[in-house]
Amino acid sequence: MKNGEITRYQKIITENNVGVANHNKEKNYLIPEGSPIPVFVKLGIFTKDYKVVAKMHDKFKQINRYLELLSDIIKEYKENDDIYIIDFGCGKSYLSFAVYYYLSVIKKLNVFLTGIDLKKEVVEDCKKLAEEYGYSGMDFFAMDIKDFVPKHKIDLVISLHACDIATDFVIHQAVKAGAKHIFSVPCCQKEINKNIANSYEPILFRYGILQERVSALITDAIRATVLELNGYKTDISEFVDLTDSPKNLLIRASLAAHSPSYLKKKREELNDLLVRVDAIPMIVKLLG
């Protein structure tokens, strides 16, 4: 065989394997395609015969990945347990409805899920949908995240792509309420980007795209550390593939006790970093 033929042959094998791998992965989704969920049809995620609408494929994948990561902490709950959840910056609430469906219908928990978003019409639509499909544990409020006052304890705070410092207000609200778990996928961090060019490594920040990405990573590292300092065990993991969305990091935090020496070390590390970035980001102003 000539080299070119080998390459072509290998390419076919690789593509087929990838195809099979993805297909198998999708078959293992917690809410697989074909699940008879009428509200997903109304939301435009599924067609009438419960196939994923082509342009919603990425969102469908994100939702399933989110559920997969949530399922780790859901093991703490058993059938008929109450669980109080807030989705901050819920938007059209694809995620809220999916989480509600998964936890109430599949896991059989008593779910109380509140969605918060600035957009009045979107919130009205979500309320109507919840009513139409008998999702009595759901409610929605049109308001700023920072003005929300919870009426109950909160078990879980979720947020998917709350823009820029909205994510900081999400974390602040969650910590204030003593939420047991926080799952937040940030997006469009701009704050540190404004200051950092003068203060960090000039050679790195000669290129706008690098500055933007490093600033976003530093912001998330600061958020995670502030969460640790506020009594959470925190990690940051890849949420979906980078090729599916560049906004693909999930900050995951669960209440945990830390030793004084661990906290002292974290505080020193954070202070050093803040000096280097020459900024006091919102999360530090709120919870620092």
Ligand X SMILES: C[S@@+](CC[C@H](N)C(=O)[O-])C[C@H]1O[C@@H](n2cnc3c(N)ncnc32)[C@H](O)[C@@H]1O
Residues in the chain: 288
CA 259 – CA 48 distance, rounded (Å): 54
In angstroms, what is the minimal distance from the CB of 2 to ligand X? Answer: 49
Q: Which residues share a beta bridge with 193?
A: none
Q: Which is nearer to ligand X, 62 or 230 (CB)?
A: 62
CA 50 – CA 35 distance, rounded (Å): 6
- 3 to 6, 10, 13, 198, 277: CA distances (angstroms): 5, 11, 16, 51, 51
Q: Which is nearer to ligand X, 174 or 229 (CB)?
A: 174
According to CB under 6 A, which residues from 148 to 187 bind ligand X? 160-163, 166, 169
In angstroms, what is the minimal distance from the CB of 162 to ligand X? Answer: 5
Q: Which is nearer to ligand X, 162 or 171 (CB)?
A: 162
Helix (H) or strand (E) holding 163: strand 156-163
Q: Which is nearer to ligand X, 68 or 144 (CB)?
A: 144
Phi/psi of residue 281, nearest 5 degrees = -70, 160
Q: How many residues bind ligand X (CB under 6 A)?
A: 18
In angstroms, what is the minimal distance from the CB of 130 to ligand X? Answer: 16
The answer to whether residue 95 forms part of the interface with ligand X (CB under 6 A) is: yes
In angstroms, what is the minimal distance from the CB of 76 to ligand X? Answer: 24
According to CB under 6 A, which residues from 118 to 137 bind ligand X? 118-119
Q: Which is nearer to ligand X, 109 or 170 (CB)?
A: 170
| Angle at 215 (CA atoms; ends 213, 221), nearest 5 degrees | 105
What x-and-dash track marks residues 45-74 binding ligand X by CB under 6 A? ------------------------------
Q: Which is nearer to ligand X, 15 or 241 (CB)?
A: 241
Q: Which is nearer to ligand X, 107 or 172 (CB)?
A: 172
The answer for residues whose C-beta is within 8 angstroms of residue 156's C-beta and 6 or more apart is 70, 73, 83, 84, 85, 86, 179, 180, 181, 182, 183
- 61 to 22, 56, 95, 244, 285: CA distances (angstroms): 11, 9, 11, 9, 35
CA 250 – CA 197 distance, rounded (Å): 26
Q: Are 146 and 96 in contact (CB under 8 A)?
A: no
- Range in contact with ligand X (rule: CB under 6 A) among 5-13, 84-92, 206-214, 265-273: 84-92
The answer to whether residue 94 forms part of the interface with ligand X (CB under 6 A) is: yes
What is the number of the residue whose Cβ is closest to ligand X? 91
In angstroms, what is the minimal distance from the CB of 244 to ligand X? Answer: 13
Q: Which stretches within the chain are classed as H helix? A: 3-27, 38-42, 57-74, 94-101, 120-132, 166-177, 191-199, 208-229, 260-277, 282-287
The answer to whether residue 280 forms part of the interface with ligand X (CB under 6 A) is: no
Nearest residue to 234 (alpha-carbon basis) of 164, 287, 162, 285:
287
The answer to whether residue 145 forms part of the interface with ligand X (CB under 6 A) is: yes
Q: Which is nearer to ligand X, 94 or 140 (CB)?
A: 94
Residue with tokens 């067609």: 47
The answer to whether residue 190 forms part of the interface with ligand X (CB under 6 A) is: no
The answer to whether residue 216 forms part of the interface with ligand X (CB under 6 A) is: no
Which residues form the interface with ligand X (CB under 6 A)?
89-92, 94-95, 116-119, 144-145, 160-163, 166, 169
